[in-house]
Amino acid sequence: MSKEILGKKLGMTQIFSVDGRRIPVTVVEAGPCVVVQKKTVQTDGYNAVQVGFIPKRAERVNKPEMGHFKRAGQGAFYHLKEFRLGDSDGDQVNPGDSITCEIFAPGEIVDVRGVSKGKGFQGVIKRWNFSGGRASHGSMFHRAPGAIGCSAWPSRVFKGKKMAGQMGNKQVTTQNLQIVEVRPEQNLLLIKGAIPGPKNGVVAIRKGVKAKQNG
């Protein structure tokens, strides 16, 4: 089965290696995730599993949703996510199975996908790192964006122009992060460095698609 799991970002801390080096890590409560639905080439045209994360009380679920969850027989969940599988991975998993953080090992390289922190409406200096104008008195140009287009031609603003607007609150993937420690008894992964999203934000962790794996 492909190595993917949902987790909840708990925050950052630091640990020390055996040689005394300080390592900044993000603590993630990874799983357990329950396989809610299995998709196959015969029924859906591709192989995938839908997993649920964080249990949800039955009274908070409507009847159509409960009918969907009932197939797995493991209750309802707040978060659902679909993971694609290879041609031979589908035989290894069935509805009702649990996916735990033990699918990963220390030293593995992973990609973490989540929704970044929303920062609201921001100007071009904070959003795009514009330098701005002089801070001296009377310049009339401090943090403004400046000219945004031409007059005679093309008489419009090009799509994608860097301007003020909504910042953050987008899906972000941070690649090539190393797993420092796995604590299966606590369902915790300690990942070196920072990952997207706020505390208690839900993230998807998968095996790194670009980096060469250690070991």
Q: Where are the domains of the chain?
A: 4-120+167-207, 121-147+161-166
**Domain 4-120+167-207 top-level CATH class:** mainly beta
**Contacts for 208 with CB less than 8 Å, ≥ 6 apart:** 108, 109, 110, 111, 175, 176, 177
Contact 94, 85 (CB under 8 A): no
Across 95-104, 107-116, 155-164, 177-186, least confident range: 95-104
Tell me what pLDDT residue 215 has. 46
To the question of pTM greater than 0.85 for the whole model, the response is no
DSSP H helices in the chain: 41-44, 63-70, 124-128
pLDDT tens-digit map of 182-206: 998 999 999 999 999 999 999 999 9
Structure tokens at 96: 């009702």
**Which pairing describes strands 188-192 and 120-122: parallel, antiparallel, or unpaired?**
unpaired
How many CA atoms within 13 Å lie on the side-chain side of 187?
Answer: 16
